[in-house]
Amino acid sequence: MDIKVDLDKHKKLNLNIKEILTNRFTAKWWSDKKVDDEKLQYVLDCAYLAPSKRSEYDYEILVLGDSPKAKEIKDWLYWENSWCYKGERAPEGVDGTPDRRYNGQCQAPVVLVWQGILDRVSYNRFTPRIDEPDLCRDMAISASIAMMAAEEVGLHTGLQSCFEEGMLSEKLGKKGFSYILLGIGDIDKYDHKTIFPDSGHFPGRFVYKDGKHMGFDFGNNPAYDKEVSISRKGKKTKEDIIKFV
């Protein structure tokens, strides 16, 4: 499939779904601009309109905007809970600086969290997904719809599932498990500059905290070229994925 990315698309309205999906990418670096309330309501309406297996809808969509509590949770997620080091999420007892890979999606102006509602989760990292597959499917579908709705109204988006589901639930004061989050907002800029020219060449940015080099994250890189975008390195061809039976 010939894929041509249009960097100006966020200024354009009335794109069809294929154009919206062609131009989207996982956004990680945001501008401070507030998300327009009308647009947010549109996204939430669309997420709400999602279908559900057995019509159960056993989830809530928690909206983390700019309230002090929301900001505290987003910062905790970013700085303490969701960074990765050597393929592991925030490994205990390992400092990981300055090679941590951060997940900027949870720093977006608005972060939506799909929270599976269960009285009791016999918890380990995989149990909700195994015990509650229908609920997980429902939440993934609602999150996908929200992503497309946000992109449709000219916002950027980034999905994130790298965080500890039980600990985030606790922070949110909820029972059950936090399943997936979607960052929504405007990006600050696109990235094209490679940060590790000697080991893997992908656009990204270094992450600093109080002047200290902590790690890095992938850039806001819309390139659909597997050679340029590390996010797309595993992208298969249309023929590999789509089979007529």
Ligand X SMILES: Cc1cc2nc3c(=O)[nH]c(=O)nc-3n(C[C@H](O)[C@H](O)[C@H](O)COP(=O)(O)O)c2cc1C
Binding site for ligand X (CB under 6 A): 25-26, 103, 159-162, 180, 231-232
Distance of CA 33 to the CA centre of its chain: 18
Closest distance between ligand X and the C-beta of residue 85, in Å? 14
> Residue 26 CB: number of other CB atoms within 10 A?
21
Residue whose CB is less far from ligand X, 71 or 226? 226
3-class DSSP assignment, residue 161: coil
Closest distance between ligand X and the C-beta of residue 182, in Å? 9
Sort strands 88-89 and 84-85 into parallel, antiparallel or unpaired. antiparallel
> Residue 230 CB: number of other CB atoms within 10 A?
16
Contact predicate 205/106, CB 8 Å: no
d(CA 164, CA 243): 35
Residue whose CB is less far from ligand X, 142 or 231? 231
Residue whose CB is less far from ligand X, 148 or 159? 159
Closest distance between ligand X and the C-beta of residue 105, in Å? 7
Closest distance between ligand X and the C-beta of residue 68, in Å? 25
Reported as type and span, the H/E element at residue 239 is helix 238-241
Closest distance between ligand X and the C-beta of residue 234, in Å? 7
Distances (CA, A) of 79 to 106, 142, 235: 10, 27, 29
Closest distance between ligand X and the C-beta of residue 190, in Å? 12
Contact predicate 64/114, CB 8 Å: no
Residue whose CB is less far from ligand X, 126 or 244? 126
Residue whose CB is less far from ligand X, 36 or 75? 75
Residue nearest to ligand X (CB): 162
Residue whose CB is less far from ligand X, 26 or 142? 26
- Whether the CA torsion 17, 18, 21, 24 is positive or negative: it is negative
Closest distance between ligand X and the C-beta of residue 38, in Å? 26
d(CA 152, CA 39): 10
d(CA 43, CA 145): 8
Counting beta carbons within 10 angstroms of the beta carbon of residue 65, is it exposed (0 to 12), middle (13 to 18) or buried (19 or more)?
middle
Residue whose CB is less far from ligand X, 236 or 243? 236
